[in-house]
Structures are given as structure tokens and as C-alpha cells.
Structure 1
Amino acid sequence: MTAGLNDTAAQRCDYRTLLPDDASVYDRGVVEGGLAPEEQGWLRQQRLEWELRSGGHRGAEDLVSGHSIGIVPARWAKFNQWLPFDAAATSPPALNRGEVTKVALRCRESELWLPLLVTSFAWGWGNRGFGPIRLRWVLNGKGGSPGLSSNEIEERLAAAVDALDQQGARSAYQLLLNAGKISEFGPAFFTKFLYFASRTGQGRCPALILDGRLARQMRGFWERRANEPYAENGSSARWLWQGPRWSDYRYQIYRTFMVRSASQLSESGDRWIPELVELLLFRATRAV
């Protein structure tokens, strides 16, 4: 099983099939209108710069898989049993998306998903100091309130992956947001978990990471279209993309826009995938 979408899955990953039937006029207009020429140009320039940093021209999947985050191993020592690196190491490792995906593959084989939760969490936090504390809250509870048992967490993660495989990313997102919620494990991090789980599956569009930084980029796209006729009676872009608990509908709109963007960018000849658009938007130091 390989990372990324195969050709058959890519054919089914069409924004027109992902766009919710109940999409608002504003959301539908932004998605169907797609990226403006200047936005496409900006993203192509960002890709070029990322390719240069990564050693030259490479395919979209390789560019995404090579995206690495620095880790301070000692901070994660209490979670060593689930991690793909040695928390006792003296030199800080860099954990990339490809390596986290390998953890997801092993989780699929074992049908145990805690290693992916912990590894994707460490990858997401990188060298920021608060990450291990937040992970302890997820696994053990917060402020004297006991958390879920490890078995219950495993069951909820497995149910989310089953929903991801059988129904798609929106259903999995909705489950972890509501009925299958894990305390202190919000969308900014459970979408990372779902994203890596989806990289090991086949036949469906990927789950995509959505956090505050990416939501601000989406708000920018919507704000730049606020004077279009279709936006006349819509809510403000700031309100639409206000987090940190975006609705499953908003998550699906986000995914649809990213799939639409990748399709547009691919028209120039270079292959683009939604994950690459997400990566470049996340890395940006300013709004597009």
C-alpha cells in the first residue's frame, strides 16, 4: 500500500462529488470559482521554493512525504513505547510525513491506533514545549479528572478509522468531534491523525489537516471574494472560519476547496495533490 492516491482514487476525488448538497451560496461560489490567477501563481512560486529546499524538482507525493518537523526526543520520553524514534537519543531527530505514514501502516496491520495518535501528535507539536503536557491530558485526563481508558481511546480511534474507510473523512471528523470525542484531542490534532490514517487507505479522497493557521488562510480566500454577488447574503468570512471546533460541514467545505485548488493547479502540467496545497499554505508566513 503506498502513500497518496492511486489513479482510480484520484478520479473519484473530484470537488463536484465532495461539495455538500446543502452548501451555502457563498461557499459554493468560492469553491466553484476556484483559485484566482494570482493565487495560483503564488502557490506555484511556493512550490518552486519548496522544491529548491528539498533538492530540486520532485513529484508532489515526494515533496509532501519529505516534510519534516524537528523533535526534542527527551520531552517525549514518557511516550517512548509508541514512538518511531528513541526518546533517549541525544541528537534531535527530524520526523517527516513519510515516517509518520509508516507508523499508520503498522497500525493498520495491528489494528491498534495509539501509536499513530502519539506519533502524529509529536510530529504536529514538533519542538514546542507544551506538546507532551497536552498529550498527557489526552491519555490520562486533566486537572484531577480521569481520562478515558487506553482501551476506550483505542476503540474510539478504531471507530473513526472505520468511518474514514467506509464513509469518508467528513463522517470520521464528525465522529471525533461529537459521539467519539476524546478529551483534549480537538480538530487541529485529530485531523492530523485522520490524515495519516487516510494516507494508508485506498479509494477515497484524503482527510486533510485543518488547524488555526490553515483556517486563517481559508478566511483570506473567502474575504477576497466577499464582494462577489454570491457572497451578498452570506455570513462574514471571519465567522465562517472561526475555530477551534469547526463543524463537519465546514471541514468538508475546506477539503472540497483544497481538492478544487489541486485540480486547477494540475492543469499547467505539474501534478498537484491536496496535501501539497495544504503544506504550502501551512508553511506560508503570510496570507496568500
Structure 2
Amino acid sequence: MTADPNDPTTPPWDYRTMLPGDASAYDTGVIEGGLTVEEQAWLSQQRHAWESQFTGGYRSPEELVSGHSIAIVPSRWVKFEQWLPFATDTSAPISLSRGEVADVARRCRESGLWLPLLVTSFAWGWGSRGFGPTRLLWVLEGKGGSAGLSTSEIEKRLAAAVDALDQQGARGAYGLMLDAGRLSEFGPAFFTKFLYFASRTDNARGRALILDARLALQMRAFWQRRADEPYAATSRSARWLWTGPRWSDYRYQIYRTFVCRSAAQLSKSGERWTPELVELLLFRATRTA
């Protein structure tokens, strides 16, 4: 499939080039089979419900994604104020959107310093829940008496992850942060948020996508509905395949491929979709697909 720049429904990526060469029969079958008619209708309903939250009618996928805001209590993050794009002198909740976090990522790209994005994406991910600042302190300073990495070493590892993202793509960056470039207490649910926003500053190899427990639960539902297909006969269960919290880089790539396949399939209706929009709608859904 070659992208047609004059056709707004044609995505600039091909899921078939993303499917791992060693993909299992189960994973390949689910991805190549695509969304059912019912699943497509459900995702379309999720889109229209989200779109109704905005005034003025139709919104592009980019606008729908960038407008996704999370409530933050600024005063809870006062220890990290030097890296945040908002003041922390108030306990009144504020909204922090994906678009605003992406702006931080662009400034980090310009400066070459990535701690502001780590901190901002972490705060965005935790929202108003109270434990987030403590967890972030563990990432930056260590936990339980164990000294954490120096600020310079954290910056070095973040820069290496972004370089891997640029040179190798999302799977390579994910694998690095999972293993050799790992930061303590900074698992996939949050480092994929960092990678996701970092990738919004450079489209050369396609964007990273967020993967956390809620999204893995959605994937498990898609796989479970296909568990009786012949291609699933010799595989482990869907529950086992999508159990986290440290999904392999292979599993992360399968996830990205499925979401991209879904966006391509949904775009054939004449309404343009992006992988980010599919991810957002699956994350926001109050039940599994």
C-alpha cells in the first residue's frame, strides 16, 4: 500500500511493514483479520462521543488527540517545578492537554534536554492521583535508601532512547528503555508516554504509541474474541499474552501493528483515522471493545 498525499483517507504507514517477521500465527491472524464490523461500529461510536465534547462540529484526528486533557493539581508537583510548563503555586486543578505536553517535547528536541518531557509526561499520566509525585521522586532520586541515577545519567539515557527512536523506530527505543537504558521505577506504562510525545516531534519512522494496563486489557479483549480461530489453537491464552506490566518489545510491536491496522481499516470508510486516535479512544472507553 503506497500513501497517496492527495487522498486524506490514505494513511502514511503500512501495517504490513510493521508486522514482525517472527510474528506468531495467533498474532498474525488477529492483525491480518482486522476489526470486525461490530468493532468498527463501536470505535466509530467512541469517536463521535468524544467529538461531541468539542464545540463546532467535526474535528480532525489530530485535534481530537491534542485536545485530550488530564486534570492536574499543580501544588502536588512543586518539587519538580523547574521542569514543568505550569506554575505549582495553586491547589486548584488545571487541565494539561496532549497538545501542551507535545509543545514541551518540541522544546526538548530543540534543547537536547529531555527531563522536562519525562516530568511533564509523567505528571500528565498520573493526573490528580496522589501517589504520582512520590513515584516520580523514586525515578529521579532513588527508592528506599538506594541512590538513584545522577541527573546527567538520566539525561544521557533519555537522549539515547530518543536517538534510538529516531534511528531504529519505536520498537528499538522501547527495547532500550526496557533493558540497557532502563530507569528505575519507570516502566512501560510511563516510558511509552515519554516516547509517544518525543515521537510527535519527528515523523521519520512513525510515532510511538502509549501502552499501559488499560490498553493491554483492550488488546486482550480483541485477542480473546478470536481465541477459537484455527490460528490460535497452539498459542498461549490471550490473558497470558497481554499480561504486563513489562511487555516485551515484540509484544509492543504487535500492539502498534494492530492499532495501525485498525486505523487503516477505519479510514476506508472515508473518515480519516490515525493510530493515535484509535489508542486514545481505546484508553478512554469505559468498557473493553
Q: Same fold by TM (over 0.5)?
A: yes
Q: Aligned partner of 2:33: which letter?
A: G
How far has the Cα of 1:13 moved from its partner?
1.8
Q: What's the offset of the Cα at 1:145?
A: 0.1
Deviations 1:93-132 (A, max 9, x none): 1000000000000000000000000000000000000000
Amino acid at match of 2:30: V
Q: Which residue of 2 aligns with 1:70?
A: 71
In the alignment, the residues of structure 2 paired with residue 17 and residue 189 of structure 1 have an alpha-carbon distance, to the nearest angstrom, of 26
Map of 2:61 onto structure 1: 60
Residues 196, 209 of structure 2: 8 Å contact kept: yes
Q: Secondary structure at the match of 2:217?
A: helix
Amino acid at match of 2:186: F
Distance 2:207 2:143 in 1: 32
CA distance in 2 between counterparts of 1:202 and 1:64 reads 16
Q: Residue type of the partner of 1:62?
A: E
User: 1:225 and 2:222 equivalent?
Assistant: no
> Partner of 1:17 in structure 2?
17
Q: Distance in 2 between matches of 1:188 and 1:13?
A: 24
Instruction: Give the superposition deviation at 1:91.
Output: 3.0
| Aligned match of 1:105 | 106
C-alpha distance in structure 1 between counterparts of 2:260 and 2:206, whole Å: 9
Distance 1:7 1:202, change over 3 A: farther
Distance in 2 (alpha carbons) for counterparts of 1:117 and 1:163: 16
Structure 1 residue 214, shift from structure 2 partner: 0.2
Contact map agreement 2:11 2:274 (CA 8 A) in 1: no
Residue number in structure 2 paired with 1:116: 117
> Residue in 2 aligned with 1:143?
144
Structure 2 matches for 1:163-178, cutoff 5 A? 163-178=164-179
CA–CA distance in 1 between the matches of 2:38 and 2:11? 27
How far 1:61 moved relative to its partner? 0.3
Write the distance in 1 (CA, Å) between the matches of 2:252 and 2:5: 24
Task: State the 1:11 CA deviation.
Answer: 5.5
Seen in structure 2, the aligned counterparts of structure 1 residues 229 and 217 have a Cα distance that, compared at 3 Å, is: same
- The amino acid that maps onto 1:33 is G
CA distance in 1, matches of 2:119, 2:186: 11
CA contact (8 A) 1:13 1:204 kept: no
Letter in 2 for 1:250: R
C-alpha separation in 1, matches of 2:91 and 2:218:
37
SS at 2:26's partner residue? Answer: helix
Does structure 1 conserve the Cα–Cα contact (< 8 Å) formed by 2:66 and 2:99? yes
Give runs of aligned pairs for residues 43-58 of structure 1, distance below 5 A.
Answer: 43-55=43-55, 56-58=57-59
Aligned residue for 2:236, secondary structure, equals coil
What's the TM-score, normalizing by structure 1? 0.96
Structure 2: 5+ residue runs without aligned partners?
none
Q: Which residue of 2 aligns with 1:184?
A: 185
**Distance (whole Å) between structure 2 residues aligned to residue 93 and residue 82 of structure 1:** 17
Q: Distance in 1 between matches of 2:148 and 2:191?
A: 16
Shift of residue 89, structure 1, vs aligned partner: 2.9
| Contact 1:12-1:204 at 8 Å conserved across structures | no
Q: Is the 8 Å Cα contact of residues 26 and 234 (structure 1) preserved in structure 2? A: yes
Provide Cα deviations, 1:216-266, integer angstroms capped at 9, x if missing partner. 000000000000111111110000000000000000000000000000000
Q: For 1:168 and 1:11, how far apart are their aligned partners in 2? A: 18
Name the count of aligned residue pairs.
283
Output the CA distance in 2 between the equivalents of 1:101 and 1:204: 17
SS in 2 for 1:270: coil
Identity %: 72
Separation in 2, partners of 1:257, 1:267: 16
TM-score, length-scaled by structure 2: 0.96
Task: Find the aligned partners of 2:224 and 2:278 in 1 and give their Cα distance.
Answer: 19
1:272-283 to 2 correspondences below 5 Å? 272-283=273-284
Matched residues in 2 for 1:265 and 1:114: separation?
36
Equivalent position amino acid for 2:45 in 1: Q
Q: Identify if the C-alpha distance between structure 1 residues 226 and 58 changes in structure 2 by more than 3 Å, giving closer, same or farther.
A: same
Structure 1 unaligned runs (5+)?
Answer: 1-5
Whether the aligned pair in 2 keeps the contact of 1:192 and 1:208 (CA below 8 Å) is yes
Indicate whether 1:194 and 2:195 are aligned: yes
Q: Structure 1 76/91 Cα, relative in aligned 2: closer, same or farther at 3 Å?
A: same
RMSD of aligned alpha carbons:
1.5
